[in-house]
């Protein structure tokens, strides 16, 4: 199939090697996790996505946040729950949410521990448990083994000739988040029609061809691509399957 053309494409790529890391919670000094912004500004008031990196054995003190966040484990294993909860170590591909105002801890174990964290509006702040409150939300923890995958027989977002799969994670009417699983040897396109498209590689290596100059880049785990208008994303896989996390306010079609 010939790849359709879009005038003035807005496709953008950020490789994991290009991410700038800084302290997530400067007040903790050298004990602070590291953060690398992918989109937005966690210190501002806009929707933001960033990678959080934790050292092996990290465990935060009980704390709260002023905003609700969603997160995906990318590397290592992470536990996020009430301070008195038994540890539930979530491996890569797992998804969780943390409601604003709720006391919790975050811990990590593994040679390298990285999670994608996203918020709908900033700033993203860490606050003491004395300021805890209940906003009515409840946390969600989905182990990768409990994901529900849909193929082309279950959703019209996937072309009938494609072996790709989707797993819908959340939908707030304005935007939605989902996983896309692309099989080994996949070579095709992901067509998006929203004005918001943020995608992060959660597993595997993805060949991504930029429409502006036909340059192909290899996106490894933690790399990111985006668009701010209708877009065609030309992708290919040679090795093991790839899993992408996508946040969008539009629809998707996988060919």
Which structural domain, as residue segments, surrounds residue 124?
Answer: 40-145
Closest CA to 170 of 92, 245, 233, 88: 245
* pLDDT tens, position by position, 160-218: 999 999 999 999 988 999 999 999 999 999 999 999 999 999 999 999 999 999 999 99
Tokens of 247: 């946040």
**CB-CB contact of 71 with 119 (8 Å):** no
Report the pLDDT value the prediction gives residue 1, as an integer from 0 to 100.
Answer: 46
Within-domain flag for 213: yes
Looking at residue 4, its pLDDT comes to 63
Instruction: Give the residue from 145, 171, 189 where a domain finishes.
Output: 145
Tens-digit pLDDT profile for residues 211-254: 999 999 999 999 999 999 999 999 999 889 999 999 999 999 99
Q: What is the CATH number of the domain that holds 63?
A: 2.60.120.10
CA angle 163, 164, 170 (to 5 degrees): 150
Could you tell me if residue 10 is inside a domain?
Answer: no
DSSP string, 34-72: EEEEEES-TTTTS-EEEEEEE-TT-BPPSBEESS-EEEE
Residue 72 in this model has a pLDDT that exceeds 80 = yes
Q: In terms of domains, do 137 and 188 share one?
A: no
Q: Distance between CA atoms of 246 and 201, rounded to whole angstroms?
A: 9
Same domain, 123 and 177: no
Q: What is the pLDDT of residues 130-154, one digit of tens each?
A: 999 999 999 999 999 999 999 999 9
Structure confidence by residue, pLDDT tens digits, 6-23: 889 999 999 999 999 999
pLDDT value for 30:
77
State whether 162 and 119 are in the same domain. Answer: no
Complete DSSP assignment for 111-149: EEEEEEEEESS----EE-GGG----S---EEE-GGG---
Asked if residue 14 is part of any domain, the answer here is no
Distances (CA, A) of 168 to 42, 58, 117, 129, 133: 25, 30, 17, 32, 29
Are 90 and 159 found together in one domain?
no
Beta strands 34-39 and 48-54, pairing class: antiparallel
**Residue 24 banded pLDDT, cuts 50, 70, 90:** confident
Per-residue confidence (pLDDT) for residue 32, from 0 to 100? 87
Do 158 and 88 lie in one domain? The reply is no
Dihedral sign of CA atoms 223, 59, 94, 132 in order:
negative
- Which of 145, 171, 186 is a domain's end point? 145
Residue 29 lies in a domain: no
| Total number of domains constituting the chain | 2
The model's pLDDT over 93-143, given as tens digits with 9 standing for 90+, comes to 999 999 999 999 999 999 999 999 999 999 999 999 999 999 999 999 999
Calpha distance 228→251 (Å, rounded): 13
Give me the chain's average pLDDT, please: 95
Please identify, among 91, 122, 145, the residue that sits at the C-terminal boundary of a domain. Answer: 145
Q: Is residue 54 part of a domain?
A: yes
Rg of the chain, C-alpha, whole Å: 18
Judge if 110 and 162 occupy the same domain. no
């Amino acid at each position: 199939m010939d790849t359709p053309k879009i005038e003035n494409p807005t496709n953008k790529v950020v490789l994991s090697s290009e991410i700038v890391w800084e302290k997530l919670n400067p007040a903790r000094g050298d004990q602070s996790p590291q953060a690398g912004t992918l989109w937005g500004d966690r210190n501002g008031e806009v929707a933001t996505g960033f990678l959080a990196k934790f050292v092996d054995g990290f465990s935060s003190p009980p704390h709260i946040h002023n905003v609700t966040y969603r997160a995906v484990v990318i590397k290592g294993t992470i536990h996020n729950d009430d301070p008195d909860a038994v540890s539930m170590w979530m491996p890569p591909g797992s998804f969780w949410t943390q409601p604003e105002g709720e006391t919790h801890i975050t811990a990590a174990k593994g040679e390298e521990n990285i999670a994608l964290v996203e918020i709908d509006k900033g700033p993203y702040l860490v606050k003491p448990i004395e300021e805890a409150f209940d906003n009515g939300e409840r946390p969600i923890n989905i182990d990768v083994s409990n994901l529900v995958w849909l193929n082309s027989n279950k959703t019209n977002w996937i072309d009938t000739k494609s072996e790709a799969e989707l797993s819908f994670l959340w939908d707030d009417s304005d935007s939605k988040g989902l996983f896309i699983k692309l099989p080994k040897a996949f070579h095709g396109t992901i067509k998006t029609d929203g004005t918001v498209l943020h995608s992060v590689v959660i597993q595997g290596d993805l060949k991504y061809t930029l429409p502006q100059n036909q340059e192909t880049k290899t996106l490894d785990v933690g790399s990111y691509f985006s668009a701010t208008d209708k877009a065609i994303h030309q992708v290919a896989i040679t090795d093991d399957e790839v899993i992408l996390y996508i946040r969008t306010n539009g629809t998707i079609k996988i060919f």
